Structure 1
Protein backbone atom coordinates (compact mmCIF):
# COMPACT_ATOMS: atom_id res chain seq x y z
CA UNK A 1 0.00 0.00 0.00
CA UNK A 2 1.31 3.45 -0.84
CA UNK A 3 1.73 5.63 2.21
CA UNK A 4 0.81 9.22 1.33
CA UNK A 5 3.05 11.85 2.80
CA UNK A 6 2.53 15.51 3.49
CA UNK A 7 4.98 18.17 2.27
CA UNK A 8 7.42 19.45 4.86
CA UNK A 9 6.89 22.95 6.23
CA UNK A 10 8.20 25.90 4.21
CA UNK A 11 10.96 26.78 6.68
CA UNK A 12 12.37 23.26 6.38
CA UNK A 13 12.43 23.23 2.61
CA UNK A 14 15.66 24.08 0.89
CA UNK A 15 15.27 26.74 -1.78
CA UNK A 16 16.18 25.79 -5.32
CA UNK A 17 18.89 28.44 -5.36
CA UNK A 18 20.60 27.26 -2.18
CA UNK A 19 20.35 23.64 -3.29
CA UNK A 20 21.92 24.52 -6.64
CA UNK A 21 24.78 26.33 -4.90
CA UNK A 22 25.38 23.41 -2.56
CA UNK A 23 25.31 20.90 -5.43
CA UNK A 24 27.68 23.02 -7.52
CA UNK A 25 30.10 23.31 -4.60
CA UNK A 26 30.01 19.55 -4.04
CA UNK A 27 30.56 18.83 -7.73
CA UNK A 28 33.44 21.33 -7.86
CA UNK A 29 35.11 19.56 -4.94
CA UNK A 30 34.69 16.04 -6.29
CA UNK A 31 35.88 17.13 -9.73
CA UNK A 32 38.95 18.75 -8.21
CA UNK A 33 39.69 15.54 -6.28
CA UNK A 34 39.31 13.47 -9.44
CA UNK A 35 41.74 15.71 -11.31
CA UNK A 36 44.21 15.58 -8.42
CA UNK A 37 43.86 11.80 -8.25
CA UNK A 38 44.61 11.67 -11.97
CA UNK A 39 47.86 13.41 -11.13
CA UNK A 40 48.79 10.70 -8.63
CA UNK A 41 47.45 12.10 -5.34
CA UNK A 42 46.28 9.08 -3.29
CA UNK A 43 44.54 11.23 -0.67
CA UNK A 44 42.49 12.93 -3.39
CA UNK A 45 41.57 9.54 -4.82
CA UNK A 46 40.35 8.42 -1.40
CA UNK A 47 38.27 11.60 -0.97
CA UNK A 48 36.80 11.14 -4.45
CA UNK A 49 35.70 7.58 -3.70
CA UNK A 50 34.31 8.37 -0.25
CA UNK A 51 32.37 11.41 -1.46
CA UNK A 52 30.62 9.63 -4.32
CA UNK A 53 30.28 6.07 -3.04
CA UNK A 54 26.75 6.58 -1.66
CA UNK A 55 25.51 8.16 -4.89
CA UNK A 56 26.89 5.29 -6.93
CA UNK A 57 25.31 2.66 -4.67
CA UNK A 58 21.93 4.39 -4.82
CA UNK A 59 22.13 4.72 -8.59
CA UNK A 60 23.08 1.11 -9.32
CA UNK A 61 20.51 -0.09 -6.78
CA UNK A 62 17.81 1.64 -8.82
CA UNK A 63 19.13 0.29 -12.11
CA UNK A 64 20.17 -3.21 -11.18
CA UNK A 65 17.88 -6.22 -11.20
CA UNK A 66 20.17 -7.84 -8.63
CA UNK A 67 20.29 -5.51 -5.58
CA UNK A 68 22.50 -7.91 -3.65
CA UNK A 69 25.19 -7.04 -6.18
CA UNK A 70 24.88 -3.26 -5.62
CA UNK A 71 28.07 -3.06 -3.57
CA UNK A 72 29.93 -5.18 -6.10
CA UNK A 73 28.69 -2.98 -8.93
CA UNK A 74 29.79 0.11 -7.04
CA UNK A 75 33.24 -1.42 -6.50
CA UNK A 76 33.42 -2.32 -10.18
CA UNK A 77 32.44 1.25 -11.06
CA UNK A 78 35.23 2.77 -8.98
CA UNK A 79 37.79 0.29 -10.28
CA UNK A 80 36.86 1.26 -13.83
CA UNK A 81 36.88 4.95 -12.95
CA UNK A 82 40.25 4.90 -11.20
CA UNK A 83 41.68 2.99 -14.11
CA UNK A 84 40.32 5.60 -16.52
CA UNK A 85 41.21 8.76 -14.59
CA UNK A 86 43.97 9.53 -17.07
CA UNK A 87 41.21 10.18 -19.63
CA UNK A 88 39.13 12.43 -17.38
CA UNK A 89 39.67 16.07 -18.30
CA UNK A 90 37.04 17.77 -16.14
CA UNK A 91 34.83 18.90 -19.02
CA UNK A 92 31.84 17.67 -17.04
CA UNK A 93 31.56 17.06 -13.31
CA UNK A 94 33.32 14.01 -11.94
CA UNK A 95 29.97 12.80 -10.59
CA UNK A 96 28.30 12.80 -14.02
CA UNK A 97 31.35 11.06 -15.49
CA UNK A 98 31.33 8.47 -12.70
CA UNK A 99 27.61 7.74 -12.99
CA UNK A 100 27.98 7.16 -16.73
CA UNK A 101 30.59 4.53 -15.85
CA UNK A 102 28.21 3.07 -13.25
CA UNK A 103 25.52 2.79 -15.89
CA UNK A 104 27.86 0.87 -18.18
CA UNK A 105 28.82 -1.40 -15.29
CA UNK A 106 25.15 -2.25 -14.72
CA UNK A 107 24.57 -2.86 -18.43
CA UNK A 108 27.59 -5.18 -18.52
CA UNK A 109 26.25 -7.02 -15.47
CA UNK A 110 22.94 -7.56 -17.29
CA UNK A 111 24.77 -9.02 -20.26
CA UNK A 112 26.91 -11.28 -18.09
CA UNK A 113 23.91 -12.50 -16.11
CA UNK A 114 21.62 -13.00 -19.11
CA UNK A 115 22.08 -16.77 -19.07
CA UNK A 116 21.75 -17.08 -15.30
CA UNK A 117 18.53 -17.22 -13.22
CA UNK A 118 17.70 -14.23 -11.06
CA UNK A 119 18.75 -14.70 -7.46
CA UNK A 120 16.35 -12.27 -5.81
CA UNK A 121 12.82 -10.94 -6.07
CA UNK A 122 11.28 -7.49 -6.20
CA UNK A 123 11.05 -7.21 -2.42
CA UNK A 124 14.82 -7.62 -2.14
CA UNK A 125 15.28 -4.92 -4.78
CA UNK A 126 13.07 -2.54 -2.84
CA UNK A 127 14.92 -3.28 0.42
CA UNK A 128 18.27 -2.50 -1.17
CA UNK A 129 17.04 0.84 -2.50
CA UNK A 130 15.42 1.71 0.83
CA UNK A 131 18.65 1.08 2.70
CA UNK A 132 20.54 3.27 0.25
CA UNK A 133 18.05 6.14 0.39
CA UNK A 134 18.53 9.29 2.50
CA UNK A 135 16.08 10.34 5.21
CA UNK A 136 14.02 13.50 4.98
CA UNK A 137 13.37 13.81 1.26
CA UNK A 138 11.16 16.86 0.59
CA UNK A 139 7.51 15.89 0.25
CA UNK A 140 7.78 12.47 1.88
CA UNK A 141 7.54 11.36 5.50
CA UNK A 142 9.94 8.48 4.94
CA UNK A 143 11.62 6.43 2.24
CA UNK A 144 8.94 3.76 2.03
CA UNK A 145 6.39 6.06 0.39
CA UNK A 146 8.88 7.20 -2.21
CA UNK A 147 9.93 3.64 -2.99
CA UNK A 148 6.32 2.64 -3.57
CA UNK A 149 5.87 5.52 -5.97
CA UNK A 150 9.13 5.03 -7.84
CA UNK A 151 8.34 1.36 -8.27
CA UNK A 152 5.36 2.33 -10.44
CA UNK A 153 7.47 4.36 -12.89
CA UNK A 154 8.87 2.99 -16.16
CA UNK A 155 12.61 2.31 -15.93
CA UNK A 156 13.69 5.26 -18.08
CA UNK A 157 11.58 7.78 -16.16
CA UNK A 158 12.69 6.38 -12.82
CA UNK A 159 16.34 6.70 -13.86
CA UNK A 160 15.87 10.32 -14.97
CA UNK A 161 14.06 11.17 -11.73
CA UNK A 162 16.71 9.51 -9.57
CA UNK A 163 19.55 11.31 -11.35
CA UNK A 164 18.04 14.78 -11.22
CA UNK A 165 15.78 14.78 -8.15
CA UNK A 166 17.54 12.38 -5.76
CA UNK A 167 21.17 12.67 -6.81
CA UNK A 168 20.84 16.31 -7.82
CA UNK A 169 22.55 16.23 -11.20
CA UNK A 170 21.86 19.09 -13.64
CA UNK A 171 19.81 17.96 -16.62
CA UNK A 172 22.79 18.20 -18.99
CA UNK A 173 24.91 15.93 -16.80
CA UNK A 174 22.02 13.53 -16.20
CA UNK A 175 21.71 13.29 -19.98
CA UNK A 176 25.41 12.52 -20.24
CA UNK A 177 25.18 9.86 -17.52
CA UNK A 178 22.18 8.15 -19.11
CA UNK A 179 23.35 8.55 -22.70
CA UNK A 180 20.39 10.47 -24.11
CA UNK A 181 19.56 14.07 -25.16
CA UNK A 182 18.83 16.72 -22.53
CA UNK A 183 15.33 17.18 -23.90
CA UNK A 184 14.62 13.51 -23.37
CA UNK A 185 15.69 13.73 -19.73
CA UNK A 186 13.50 16.80 -19.16
CA UNK A 187 10.53 15.01 -20.72
CA UNK A 188 11.07 11.88 -18.64
CA UNK A 189 11.36 13.88 -15.42
CA UNK A 190 8.22 15.87 -16.21
CA UNK A 191 6.28 12.69 -16.92
CA UNK A 192 7.67 11.04 -13.79
CA UNK A 193 6.56 14.01 -11.68
CA UNK A 194 3.09 13.92 -13.21
CA UNK A 195 2.77 10.21 -12.49
CA UNK A 196 4.02 10.62 -8.92
CA UNK A 197 1.52 13.42 -8.26
CA UNK A 198 -1.31 11.29 -9.64
CA UNK A 199 -0.29 8.41 -7.39
CA UNK A 200 -0.09 10.68 -4.34
CA UNK A 201 -3.55 12.07 -5.05
CA UNK A 202 -4.93 8.54 -5.48
CA UNK A 203 -3.27 7.45 -2.22
CA UNK A 204 -4.72 10.43 -0.33
CA UNK A 205 -8.16 9.74 -1.78
CA UNK A 206 -7.99 6.10 -0.74
CA UNK A 207 -6.91 7.09 2.76
CA UNK A 208 -9.72 9.60 3.29
CA UNK A 209 -12.27 7.16 1.87
CA UNK A 210 -11.39 4.37 4.32
CA UNK A 211 -13.10 5.87 7.42
CA UNK A 212 -16.32 6.49 5.48
CA UNK A 213 -16.29 2.93 4.20
CA UNK A 214 -15.78 1.58 7.69
CA UNK A 215 -18.61 3.76 9.07
CA UNK A 216 -20.96 2.43 6.42
Structure 2
Protein backbone atom coordinates (compact mmCIF):
# COMPACT_ATOMS: atom_id res chain seq x y z
CA UNK A 1 0.00 0.00 0.00
CA UNK A 2 1.41 3.41 -0.94
CA UNK A 3 2.06 6.05 1.71
CA UNK A 4 -0.75 8.21 0.39
CA UNK A 5 -3.28 5.34 0.32
CA UNK A 6 -2.25 4.29 3.82
CA UNK A 7 -2.66 7.82 5.20
CA UNK A 8 -6.08 8.18 3.57
CA UNK A 9 -7.26 4.94 5.16
CA UNK A 10 -5.68 5.82 8.51
CA UNK A 11 -7.40 9.22 8.54
CA UNK A 12 -10.77 7.45 8.50
CA UNK A 13 -9.91 6.26 12.02
CA UNK A 14 -8.74 9.65 13.29
CA UNK A 15 -11.85 10.22 15.46
CA UNK A 16 -11.30 6.90 17.25
CA UNK A 17 -7.61 7.67 17.73
CA UNK A 18 -8.51 11.05 19.23
CA UNK A 19 -11.14 9.57 21.58
CA UNK A 20 -8.84 6.84 22.83
CA UNK A 21 -5.96 9.33 22.99
CA UNK A 22 -8.04 11.55 25.28
CA UNK A 23 -8.83 8.60 27.51
CA UNK A 24 -5.15 7.69 27.72
CA UNK A 25 -3.75 11.18 28.27
CA UNK A 26 -6.65 12.99 29.91
CA UNK A 27 -5.85 16.08 27.85
CA UNK A 28 -7.08 17.19 24.41
CA UNK A 29 -3.72 18.80 23.57
CA UNK A 30 -1.71 15.74 24.64
CA UNK A 31 -4.17 13.52 22.77
CA UNK A 32 -3.59 15.49 19.56
CA UNK A 33 0.19 15.10 20.00
CA UNK A 34 -0.28 11.39 20.64
CA UNK A 35 -2.40 11.00 17.50
CA UNK A 36 0.23 12.79 15.41
CA UNK A 37 2.99 10.58 16.84
CA UNK A 38 0.81 7.51 16.26
CA UNK A 39 0.14 8.30 12.60
CA UNK A 40 3.83 9.01 12.00
CA UNK A 41 4.85 5.73 13.67
CA UNK A 42 2.14 3.77 11.85
CA UNK A 43 3.29 5.21 8.52
CA UNK A 44 6.84 4.05 9.28
CA UNK A 45 5.64 0.59 10.25
CA UNK A 46 2.83 0.10 7.72
CA UNK A 47 4.65 -2.95 6.32
CA UNK A 48 3.90 -4.75 9.60
CA UNK A 49 0.13 -4.50 9.09
CA UNK A 50 -0.91 -8.07 8.27
CA UNK A 51 -4.62 -7.56 7.66
CA UNK A 52 -5.70 -4.20 6.16
CA UNK A 53 -9.28 -4.94 7.28
CA UNK A 54 -8.11 -4.63 10.90
CA UNK A 55 -6.43 -1.27 10.44
CA UNK A 56 -8.35 0.40 13.28
CA UNK A 57 -7.25 -2.15 15.87
CA UNK A 58 -3.69 -2.07 14.57
CA UNK A 59 -3.60 1.74 14.77
CA UNK A 60 -4.92 1.66 18.32
CA UNK A 61 -2.22 -0.88 19.24
CA UNK A 62 0.42 1.40 17.73
CA UNK A 63 -1.09 4.30 19.69
CA UNK A 64 -0.89 2.36 22.94
CA UNK A 65 2.77 1.53 22.31
CA UNK A 66 3.59 5.15 21.46
CA UNK A 67 1.77 6.28 24.62
CA UNK A 68 3.56 3.77 26.87
CA UNK A 69 6.93 4.67 25.34
CA UNK A 70 6.26 8.36 25.93
CA UNK A 71 5.54 7.63 29.58
CA UNK A 72 8.78 5.69 29.90
CA UNK A 73 10.79 8.63 28.65
CA UNK A 74 11.38 6.94 25.31
CA UNK A 75 9.59 9.60 23.27
CA UNK A 76 9.36 8.66 19.62
CA UNK A 77 10.83 11.23 17.30
CA UNK A 78 8.34 13.71 15.94
CA UNK A 79 7.75 13.73 12.21
CA UNK A 80 5.74 16.34 10.41
CA UNK A 81 3.56 14.97 7.64
CA UNK A 82 3.53 17.40 4.76
CA UNK A 83 0.66 17.97 2.38
CA UNK A 84 -2.82 17.84 3.86
CA UNK A 85 -5.13 15.12 2.69
CA UNK A 86 -8.13 17.44 2.33
CA UNK A 87 -9.90 16.03 5.38
CA UNK A 88 -10.97 17.93 8.41
CA UNK A 89 -11.35 16.62 11.91
CA UNK A 90 -14.84 16.45 13.36
CA UNK A 91 -16.25 19.76 14.56
CA UNK A 92 -17.15 18.51 18.03
CA UNK A 93 -15.76 16.25 20.70
CA UNK A 94 -17.50 12.91 20.17
CA UNK A 95 -16.45 11.51 23.53
CA UNK A 96 -17.89 14.49 25.40
CA UNK A 97 -21.00 14.33 23.22
CA UNK A 98 -21.46 10.63 23.99
CA UNK A 99 -21.06 11.25 27.71
CA UNK A 100 -23.45 14.20 27.63
CA UNK A 101 -26.12 12.32 25.69
CA UNK A 102 -25.98 8.86 27.15
CA UNK A 103 -24.17 8.72 30.47
CA UNK A 104 -25.77 9.78 33.71
CA UNK A 105 -23.52 11.06 36.45
CA UNK A 106 -23.86 7.69 38.19
CA UNK A 107 -22.84 5.87 35.02
CA UNK A 108 -19.83 8.19 34.60
CA UNK A 109 -18.86 7.57 38.22
CA UNK A 110 -19.24 3.81 37.75
CA UNK A 111 -17.03 3.91 34.66
CA UNK A 112 -14.39 6.01 36.40
CA UNK A 113 -14.40 3.64 39.39
CA UNK A 114 -13.01 0.83 37.23
CA UNK A 115 -9.31 0.09 37.02
CA UNK A 116 -7.79 1.46 33.79
CA UNK A 117 -7.44 -1.94 32.08
CA UNK A 118 -11.10 -2.80 32.64
CA UNK A 119 -12.33 0.69 31.73
CA UNK A 120 -10.27 0.77 28.53
CA UNK A 121 -11.40 -2.71 27.47
CA UNK A 122 -15.03 -1.75 28.07
CA UNK A 123 -14.61 1.52 26.17
CA UNK A 124 -12.93 -0.20 23.20
CA UNK A 125 -15.72 -2.79 23.05
CA UNK A 126 -18.80 -0.68 23.64
CA UNK A 127 -17.85 2.69 22.11
CA UNK A 128 -15.18 1.85 19.54
CA UNK A 129 -16.90 -1.48 18.73
CA UNK A 130 -13.67 -3.44 18.43
CA UNK A 131 -13.73 -7.22 18.42
CA UNK A 132 -12.23 -9.13 21.33
CA UNK A 133 -9.24 -9.99 19.14
CA UNK A 134 -8.69 -6.32 18.26
CA UNK A 135 -8.94 -5.31 21.93
CA UNK A 136 -6.38 -7.99 22.78
CA UNK A 137 -4.07 -6.52 20.15
CA UNK A 138 -4.56 -2.98 21.47
CA UNK A 139 -4.06 -3.96 25.11
CA UNK A 140 -1.24 -6.40 24.41
CA UNK A 141 -2.87 -9.33 26.16
CA UNK A 142 -4.55 -12.66 25.30
CA UNK A 143 -8.20 -12.75 24.18
CA UNK A 144 -9.10 -14.65 27.35
CA UNK A 145 -7.81 -11.74 29.41
CA UNK A 146 -10.01 -9.37 27.39
CA UNK A 147 -13.04 -11.55 28.08
CA UNK A 148 -12.20 -11.59 31.77
CA UNK A 149 -11.65 -7.82 31.91
CA UNK A 150 -14.96 -7.15 30.16
CA UNK A 151 -16.88 -9.52 32.43
CA UNK A 152 -15.32 -8.02 35.54
CA UNK A 153 -15.85 -4.46 34.32
CA UNK A 154 -19.53 -5.09 33.63
CA UNK A 155 -20.02 -6.78 36.99
CA UNK A 156 -18.19 -3.99 38.84
CA UNK A 157 -20.30 -1.35 37.10
CA UNK A 158 -23.48 -3.25 37.94
CA UNK A 159 -22.42 -3.54 41.60
CA UNK A 160 -21.51 0.16 41.74
CA UNK A 161 -24.86 1.19 40.27
CA UNK A 162 -26.76 -1.16 42.59
CA UNK A 163 -25.02 0.38 45.62
CA UNK A 164 -25.86 3.88 44.34
CA UNK A 165 -29.46 2.83 43.89
CA UNK A 166 -29.63 1.33 47.40
CA UNK A 167 -28.26 4.55 48.88
CA UNK A 168 -30.81 6.59 46.96
CA UNK A 169 -28.17 8.36 44.88
CA UNK A 170 -29.82 7.36 41.60
Tell whether 2:131 aligns with 1:170. yes
Structure 1 segments, 4+ long, off by >6 Å, are: none
- Whole-angstrom distance in 1 between the partners of 2:67 and 2:145: 21
Unaligned runs of 5+ residues in structure 2 are 75-92
TM-score by length of 1: 0.61
Instruction: Provide the aligned C-alpha RMSD in A.
Output: 2.6
Tell whether 2:67 aligns with 1:106. yes
Give the structure 1 partner of residue 47 of structure 2: 86
- Residues 69-118 of structure 1, C-alpha deviation per residue, up to 9 Å, x if partnerless? 111001111111112113323176001110110001110121129xxxxx
Structure label with greater radius of gyration = 1
Q: Is the 8 A contact 2:106 2:164 kept in 1?
A: no
Give the structure 2 partner of residue 49 of structure 1: 10
Q: Classify the secondary structure of the residue corresponding to 2:50.
A: coil
Q: Classify the secondary structure of the residue corresponding to 1:133.
A: helix
Query: Which of 12, 19, 23 is the equivalent residue of 1:58?
Result: 19
Q: Is the 8 A contact 2:21 2:31 kept in 1?
A: yes
Give the structure 2 partner of residue 151 of structure 1: 112
- Whole-angstrom distance in 2 between the partners of 1:50 and 1:143: 31
Q: Is the 8 A contact 2:7 2:43 kept in 1?
A: no
TM-score by length of 2: 0.75
Tell me which moved more, 184-193 or 162-171.
Answer: 162-171
Aligned residues: 151
Give the structure 1 partner of residue 2 of structure 2: 39
Q: Is the 8 A contact 1:56 1:99 kept in 2?
A: yes
Unaligned runs of 5+ residues in structure 1 are 1-37, 114-130, 210-216
Tell me which moved more, 96-105 or 56-65.
Answer: 56-65
Q: CA deviation at 1:192?
A: 0.3
CA separation of 1:150 and 1:67: change in aligned 2, threshold 3 A: farther
